Chains A and B, each alone.
Chain A
Amino acid sequence: MNTSELLEKIAFNVIQGRVEAEDDGFDPGLEGRPAVTELVTEALNQNIDPKKILMESLTESMETVGEKFEKKEYLIPDMLASAECVGVAMDLLAPHLIKAGVESKGKFVIATVKGDLHDIGKNIVAIMLKGAGYQVIDLGTDVSVDRITTTVKEKQASFLGLSALLTTTMRVMGEVVQKLKEEGIRDRVKVLVGGAPTSIEFARKIGADAYCKDAFQALEIMKK
């Protein structure tokens, strides 16, 4: 297999949601063929530029998955299978990307705000962002305003993603934006908010930069 064939195969298998050769995919009849783990390993053995694998296989294939999700051709489990592939591929690629001195697209701090323990949505967004080439700093759930703003400051992050599922905790997002202003770093970081009770109006009201309906919308917005 030459380089472009191999990169295409990796992308194809991410879309099929196949982590290992033994997995079946979205379409029938793929079981037993090399999947993301085997193909990425082979690509690395062939000394293919890890940045190329990231951009041409992973990022592009997740865009396709996003389109399929948007069209409802793919449902959440299909999307998660692809995201798992990206996660596995990124674990394989990470040391090579560092060694090659490849810079990420930027540091992205992500957290579920104080008082809220829900993390399903946030975790999906974090995986997608990693696969899109961002350096994700995931602070977990129930994270205080101070810890969020301090991390943004210390890591000099360019992006901040805030998540909440409860109507009682979403207001904490506003407190984070306020604190960023007080610290004088509001204009250095783009703030994205998401989670069931949030909306475009809410994002505007608290002075966030964007509202993301789902992980793919987050990627769309990041591209702009």
Chain B
Amino acid sequence: MLIVGENINTSRRGIAEAVEKQDAEFIVQAAKNQADAGADFIDVNAGTFVDRETEYLCWLVKTVQDAVDLPLCLDSPSPDALSEAIKHHRGEPMINSISLEKDRFDAMLPIVTAQPCRIVALCMTETAMPVTIQERVQAAGELIHRLTAEGVAPTNIYIDPLVQPVSVDTRMGNAVLGAIKTIMNDFPGVNTICGLSNISYGLPMRRLINSTFLSLCILQGLSAAILDPTDKRLMANLLSTRMILGKDEYCADFIDAYQNGILIKD
């Protein structure tokens, strides 16, 4: 299971302040904490600084990779910000994201095909947010078709089924879970990825809901998750779920994590 650490995002107040003050030390610490906790990629997002996003995103790429030897998930809906940020990135990044909305697809395509990289592809239809499983799978199929036609390897595609709050519509959980299952089944080699926190928007006990949702996603075959790896309870849940589902040979990851103090004791 691929883990993308979500903590370096300027929608979080501490991060926004650090970025504005160009406080590299704070950002480096946030990156190191996530790397130590088991992140495979570190997400960087400066989207809240609309006018200065490109500048700040580039700074984040340099600052994080100076300190941590991990690839980054470059997270922005802006083609300009992404194409600049990639220039500063070492190794193969993950680019978050492309979708079928016409303008966005056309603008992103040259960026994601210019170098080998992993691509997060959102299950938006061309004109609307998806509601049903079927709409998500259809959008996924179309994205996979169009990206592979441009030479993208299926294993570099990460389909995001778009998690929406169950507080608004109680069908949202099943819609994502069903989509993960079908996409993993129908498109061999292709990956699925999602964030967790949208599922619990507007409800109390959000960490509990997110954690339970993660287990159910893993059960359906989710291959990557965008989450806070420093949340020990969440990581304990992730590792034990994988182990129970037979995705952890000789229980090695679970035992390693335990011995390295990554798991909390009850």
Contacts and interface: CB of A to CB of B under 8 A. Distances in A.
A24 interface: no
Given A75-B202, A168-B77, A117 B127 contact: yes
Given A75-B202, A75-B204, A167 B128 contact: no
Given A117-B101, A117-B129, A120-B168, A75 B124 contact: no
Given A75-B203, A76-B168, A76-B203, A117 B124 contact: yes
Interface in B165-197: 165, 167-168, 170
A141 interface: yes
Nearest to A72: B204
B47 interface: yes
B77 A166 contact: yes
Contact of B48 (A119, A141, A197): A197
Given A167-B53, A167-B77, A168-B77, A120 B48 contact: no
B249 interface: no
Nearest to B51: A171
B167 A77 contact: yes
Contacts of B129: 117-119, 141
A60 B41 CA distance: 51
A170 B50 contact: yes
A49 interface: no
B7 interface: no
Contacts of A8: none
A139 interface: no
A21 interface: no
Contacts, number: 49
B223 interface: no
Contact of B101 (A77, A115, A119): A115
B266 interface: no
B215 interface: no
A142 interface: yes
A80 interface: yes
A76 B167 contact: yes
Contacts of B48: 167, 197
B156 interface: no
Contact of B128 (A115, A117, A171): A117
A166 B168 CA distance: 19
Contacts of A166: 77
Contacts of B50: 167-168, 170-171
A83 to B, nearest CB: 11
A113 to B, nearest CB: 13
A141 B128 contact: yes
Interface string B86-122: 0000000000000001011000000000000000000
A74 B204 CA distance: 11
B138 interface: no
Nearest to A197: B48
Contact of A167 (B47, B127, B167, B204): B47
Contacts of B128: 117, 141
A142 B101 CA distance: 10
Contacts of A197: 47-48
Given A117-B127, A141-B127, A170-B50, 9 more contacts: A75-B167, A75-B203, A76-B167, A76-B203, A117-B129, A120-B164, A141-B129, A167-B53, A167-B77
